Amino acid sequence: MAANGNGEFSFGKGTARKGLAKIQTAASQKKQSAICHDDSTPPVKAQTIDELHSLQKKRSAPNTPIKGTQGSFSPLSDEARQKQQLQSISASLASLTRETGPKVVRGDPARKAETPKFAADPGDHFSFTPTISVSDSSLKFTHVLYNLSPAELYEQAIKYEKGSFIASSGALATLSGAKTGRSPRDKRVVKDETTEHELWWGKGSPNIEMDEHTFLVNRERAVDYLNSLDKVFVNDQFLNWDPQNRVKVRIVSARAYHSLFMHNMCIRPTPEELENFGTPDFTIYNAGQFPCNRYTHYMTSSTSIDLNLARREMVILGTQYAGEMKKGLFSVMHYLMPKRQILDPENTWADKQAYKETLLKLAGLFKRNFEIFTNYKIGKDNKLTEEILAAGPNF
C-alpha cells in the first residue's frame, strides 16, 4: 500500500474484489460428522512450560493463498535479515530533524551476555554495544525486543512492570495507569486537502481536527521519548486476512503489555512473511507513559491520540490504555476499505435471524457505514423492511 499524490492510498496489484478466491477455513474443510462431541472443556495442548513456549512462538498463517509468486526466492542469512529489520526499525524511529535514525540493537539490555553483537546505525555497519552508560542520544543504543512470543512478553511484564501478575485464568493482569478506557475527546485527525473532503467534520462528528505541524510536534515528542528508553517493543504484523488488501502494521511501544495486546489483535506473520515484511504501511508510536505538551495547539489535556492518514502514522501520548491502538487501526481500515468498495463490518452473522437482531442494535461506525453503502436509513423506530434486509448479506 502506498500514498498517491492526491492523498489517496493504493494497494499492490491484484485481482478485483469479485475475483478473489473464497477463503477456506480449516473448519470448512473438515467433514461434518453426525456425532456430537463434548467440547465444553478445552483440550490440553501443552504439558510442560517448554511445550507452552513452543506453541506460543508459532506464527499463524493466512488461509488465503497468495496468487502469483514473485519469481524465485533466495533466503537471506539470519545476519542479513536481522540487519534489514534493524535498519527499517531505525528509520521508523528517526527524528524528522535528523538525516538518520537512532542506533538500534536487538536483545534485552538486562541480558547483556545474551544480546546479539550486531546493530543498525547511521553508518550502516555492525557495532558492539557500548559498555559504558551514555546519555547523549546520538551515541546511545536503543535495544529492540522484536516480535516476542507471549511467554517472553509475560516475563518482561512481570519482571519490569509494577502491578503485573498472572491471573487464575492464565491471563496477564496489569495496570493501564489513570486511563482505564478510551479518550475520544483527546483524539485528533490531521485535516488536510484530502481528508477535508473525505471525512465527516463539524457538529456531531467524532473527528476532531488538528494541523500537520502540530502532529509533527507530537510525533517528535513521542519518538524522542521512545529513543530515550533502554528498550522498546516492536511488533510487525498484518491487518486483514485477504492478501490482496492486507495492510502491514508496525507498533513501537514502551511496554510489554502493549506489545502483548497487539500480538493478540493483529495477524502474526509467518517467518517467511516476516523476512519480506520490509517497510510498514502504517506505524503506531505508543509513548503513552509520556504526556503531550499542553501548550501545543489543539491540546485539551495531557493526553493526545493523533492520526495522520497522509503520513500513515499514529501517535499516542498521555494514555496507557491499549484499546487506543486497536481503535486507531479500526479507523484506518474504515477509511481504506470503502475506497476499495469493501464494507468492513464489525459483526458477522450465522443466519438471517441473527442478522435482523444485529441491525436492531446497530450503533456508531457500523450503522453509518451500512446506511452509506445501502442508501437505507435505520430510523429510531427500528423498522426493518425487506429492502433493508435484502441490502445486507444473502443467506
pTM over 0.85: no
Q: Which residue has the higher pLDDT, 346 or 290?
A: 290
- Gap between the Cα atoms of 253 and 235, Å rounded: 9
At residue 89 the predicted structure's pLDDT band, cuts being 50, 70 and 90, is confident
Pick from 49-53, 89-93, 150-154: least confident: 49-53
Query: What's the one-letter identity of residue 155?
Result: E
Domain that holds residue 324: 145-340
Residue 370 counted as domain residue = yes
Considering the domain architecture, whether residues 310 and 361 belong to the same structural domain is answered as no
Looking up cell 426493518 gives 384
One domain for residues 205 and 327: yes
Residue ranges of the alpha helices (H) in the chain?
26-29, 49-56, 78-92, 150-160, 195-198, 212-228, 256-265, 271-275, 323-336, 352-360, 364-374, 386-390
| Domain CATH for 326 | 3.40.449.10
Q: Is residue 51 part of a domain?
A: no
Do 385 and 291 fall into the same domain? Answer: no
Question: Is the pLDDT at 327 greater than 70, yes or no?
Answer: yes
Domain co-membership, 312 together with 356:
no
Q: Are residues 234 and 362 in the same domain?
A: no
Residue 251 sits in the same domain as residue 374: no
Place of cell 476499495: 340
Helix (H, G, I), strand (E, B) or coil at 214: helix
**pLDDT of amino acid 362:** 53
pLDDT of residue 107: 77
For residue range 242-288, what is the model confidence (pLDDT) as tens digits? 888 899 999 999 999 999 999 999 999 998 898 889 899 999 999 99
Of 299, 315, 340, which marks where a domain is finished?
340
Which residues are registered as beta bridge partners of 119? 105
Whether 234 and 179 share a structural domain: yes
Q: What is the DSSP letter of 339?
A: G
Question: What was the pLDDT predicted at 128?
Answer: 41
Long-range contacts of residues 211-216, Cβ cutoff 8 Å, at least 24 apart: 211/297, 211/298, 212/308, 212/310, 214/188, 214/296, 214/297, 214/298, 214/306, 215/188, 215/190, 215/306, 215/308, 215/311, 215/315, 216/96
153-164, pLDDT tens digit by residue? Answer: 999 999 999 999
At 93-114, the pLDDT tens digits run 888 777 677 788 887 877 754 5
| Lowest pLDDT segment from 67-76, 287-296, 333-342 | 67-76
